[in-house]
Chains A and B, each alone.
Chain A
Amino acid sequence: MSTQNALAGAQKWANEQPWRLYASQVVVLVRTEVRRNLFSKRRIWIYLLAFVPAIILLIANLFGNAETGAIQLEGHTEAFAGIVFQLYFVRLGIFFACMGIFTWLFRGEMVQKTLHYQFLSPVRREVLVVGKFLAGAVTSIALFEVAVTTSFYLTYSSFGSIGRTYVFNGPGLGQLGAYLLVTLLACLGYGAVFLALSLLFKNPIVPGVMLWGWEAISPIFPSWAQKLSVTFYLKHLCPVAMPVDGPMAIFTVVAEPVAPFLAIGGLLCLTVAVLVLSCFLIHRLEITYTVD
């Protein structure tokens, strides 16, 4: 096929099937961005952030006493739900990893002075937002699903047969599924918010930290205000209820209960709404590296 024929063919295809062109552009963007996100030396801290609990649990398993009792298993289940998952993964690990991954998608390109290449390509800016968001989502979800699964495995592996029974013949697998679902939704929700923040602010770190504060204190606000936080929806999907007294009480939200489908739907709606906002914001963005 001659060059002219190839050019004409691509043009015809794009004109006749714009949605297929957009889809193929999203695939290309995801491929290039995921490679850049996952295989960059600058991203080592995100790997560390994801696997810190697994490393600690591994050390505890190697050097600690093997746990055997059902009572200890119950304590470990609560500790995993409260400390490892809700406190560490949801409030720290996933939050800050998403901050690093999603704010870097556009703002990082501004810092590296490479965003103009994207803006000079035949890609609608909305498609650019969707492509980059999906790339960030794939990166963070892949990383944290593996990290949560590894931590979950290490929590119960020290119990030997009691642990295996709990996981495979008891509620264990169901809980793992719920944790993975919450992880996925957390990555999508936080990711969308951080993507929008990176388009709103030249330095999204400060509003990011403020968001972290909001996520922490939102439970003390009225129910309608709580619905504006990502953790509100995630809490209702966590499989292990935290006791309302004792040290674990700090991870407990006192709010009206929300059905799982509403929590999932609410978070997805929040994600879509923030992405739509990002699509508006991206049209305002100009390449002025010198002032950035």
Chain B
Amino acid sequence: MTPDNRQIVFDNVSKFYGEVLGVNKVSFALERGITSLVGPNGSGKTTLMNLLTGLIRPSQGAIYVFGLTPRQPVEFFRQVGYCTQFDSFPPGTNGYDFIYWPLRLHGFGDEQAAKLTNEALERAGMAQVARRKVAGYSKGMRQRIRLAQAIAHHPSVLILDEPLNGLDPMARAESIALFEALAKQGMHVIISSHILEEVDRISDRVVLMSSGYVVAEGKIREVRKEVREHPMQILVRCSNAAKLASAAFELDHVVEAKILADGQSVLVRTRDAEQFSLLLNKIVSSGLVEVDAVAPADDDVNSIYQYLIGSDGGPI
């Protein structure tokens, strides 16, 4: 895989801690937008993020961010901001200094660094408490001040390791809105999270990891299509559920058509969603059944996670 100046590229990357596997033979390229790293504890998500930012070195392979590596720190970290999971801070620091001094290391003068610090504090909702010692912050505030530091220098790539941990629902919603806004501005946002519902809502693509291996990666719908051993579930709300269910049963690729308790919805499990869509079109145009809504029931991150990794976190 050759480095592309617009992409984040993992090229056959492996990391071993002695004899313990961190990640093995990881190769993929990430485009702009929000990418979620999903996997159980110990699957290698943090290892992948630490490799990407040079906190650890790969045992094999190479990683490029826009053609740069962490061995060129001045150029590299101008492009990259990393909000780690480490909940530790320099002793005695306050929120303002925690952001201001790293900006000075970027080469910003006092006035520019102060301006960028205040801007980052505002965006993370920490302006009111910026002069307080970080040691007195709640877990959610510590999470947000780290986020503020990671975005303060306007990076093109933002890496967030479990950024929603410790946040109350309000702060969580604000953080998600911020991630979406940053992605809309053209930023690469890479998030690892256990909160699959929220990841699902905001992610453009997903990287599923298990035991150090990338199990699947790509846009969520595409990944779902690749999971052929689990028929796709489609929920159809219509005027005559029984008629639709019997019509669906006549198709070979439909393995189940279940009428739900409300009597107006059918949950269809099919191995060929496109063929089922054609059937629906035919039924609607013939006027036999009126269809109110059609929605895929399991092309979300949670379902893909369950199918590919399993609830116990082990690979299938």
| A252-292 Cβ-contact flags toward B at 8 Å (1 or 0) | 00000000000000000000000000000000001111010
Inter-chain contact B77/A121, CB cutoff 8 Å: yes
| A1-15 Cβ-contact flags toward B at 8 Å (1 or 0) | 101001101110110
Inter-chain contact A288/B17, CB cutoff 8 Å: yes
Residue of A10, A29, A36, A116 near B106 (CB, 8 A) is: A10
Separation of A10 and B17 alpha carbons in the complex (Å): 38
Which B residues touch A114, using CB under 8 A? 88-90
B50 in the interface (beta carbon within 8 A): yes
> What band does the interface of chain A fall in when counting residues whose beta carbon is under 8 Å from B?
35 or more
A292 CB to closest chain B CB, in angstroms?
12
Closest to B104 in A: A28
B82 in the interface (beta carbon within 8 A): yes
Inter-chain contact B102/A287, CB cutoff 8 Å: no
Inter-chain contact A123/B17, CB cutoff 8 Å: no
A119 in the interface (beta carbon within 8 A): yes
Separation of A223 and B55 alpha carbons in the complex (Å): 43
Inter-chain contact A117/B74, CB cutoff 8 Å: no
Separation of A1 and B115 alpha carbons in the complex (Å): 10
A169 in the interface (beta carbon within 8 A): no
Separation of A29 and B90 alpha carbons in the complex (Å): 13
Separation of A117 and B105 alpha carbons in the complex (Å): 11
Separation of A113 and B91 alpha carbons in the complex (Å): 11
Inter-chain contact B74/A14, CB cutoff 8 Å: yes
Closest to A108 in B: B91
Given contacts A24-B107, A288-B17, contact A32 B101 (CB under 8 A): yes
Residue of A11, A32, A36, A288 near B56 (CB, 8 A) is: A288
A65 in the interface (beta carbon within 8 A): no
Given contacts A28-B105, A113-B86, contact A122 B92 (CB under 8 A): no
Given contacts A6-B115, A122-B73, contact A36 B55 (CB under 8 A): no
Separation of A7 and B112 alpha carbons in the complex (Å): 9
Given contacts A28-B104, A114-B90, contact A122 B84 (CB under 8 A): no
Which A residues touch B75, using CB under 8 A? 122
B300 in the interface (beta carbon within 8 A): no
A44 CB to closest chain B CB, in angstroms?
14
Separation of A180 and B66 alpha carbons in the complex (Å): 51
A18 in the interface (beta carbon within 8 A): yes
Report B27-83 residues with CB < 8 Å from chain A CB: 50, 53-57, 73-78, 80, 82
Residue of B17, B92, B108 near A40 (CB, 8 A) is: B92
Q: How many A-B pairs fall under 8 Å by CB?
A: 90
Report A1-59 residues with CB < 8 Å from chain B CB: 1, 3, 6-7, 9-11, 13-14, 18, 21, 24-25, 28-29, 32, 36, 40
- Quick one: which of B53, B88, B116, B153 has the most chain A CB within 10 A? B88
A32 CB to closest chain B CB, in angstroms?
6
Inter-chain contact A116/B76, CB cutoff 8 Å: no
Separation of A123 and B102 alpha carbons in the complex (Å): 10
Inter-chain contact A120/B82, CB cutoff 8 Å: yes
B65 CB to closest chain A CB, in angstroms?
13
- Quick one: which of A9, A122, A125, A291 has the most chain B CB within 10 A? A122
Separation of A32 and B101 alpha carbons in the complex (Å): 8
| A105-142 Cβ-contact flags toward B at 8 Å (1 or 0) | 00000001110110111111100000000000000000
Separation of A74 and B153 alpha carbons in the complex (Å): 63
| A178-189 Cβ-contact flags toward B at 8 Å (1 or 0) | 000000000000
B119 CB to closest chain A CB, in angstroms?
7
B221 in the interface (beta carbon within 8 A): no
B123 CB to closest chain A CB, in angstroms?
12
Inter-chain contact B108/A122, CB cutoff 8 Å: no
Inter-chain contact A18/B74, CB cutoff 8 Å: yes
Closest to A29 in B: B105
Separation of A179 and B56 alpha carbons in the complex (Å): 44
Inter-chain contact A122/B105, CB cutoff 8 Å: yes
Separation of A24 and B91 alpha carbons in the complex (Å): 23
- Quick one: which of A121, A123, A286, A289 has the most chain B CB within 10 A? A121
7 A-B pairs (CB sep. < 8 Å): A11-B78, A36-B90, A113-B86, A113-B88, A116-B84, A117-B90, A125-B73
Q: A36-B91, A114-B89, A287-B50 are in contact. List 9 more A-B contacts (CB 8 A).
A: A10-B106, A13-B107, A24-B107, A25-B105, A40-B92, A119-B55, A122-B75, A123-B74, A125-B73
The 4 closest A-B pairs by CB, nearest first: A113-B88, A122-B77, A287-B55, A6-B112
Chain A residues with CB under 8 Å of chain B are 1, 3, 6-7, 9-11, 13-14, 18, 21, 24-25, 28-29, 32, 36, 40, 112-114, 116-117, 119-125, 286-289, 291
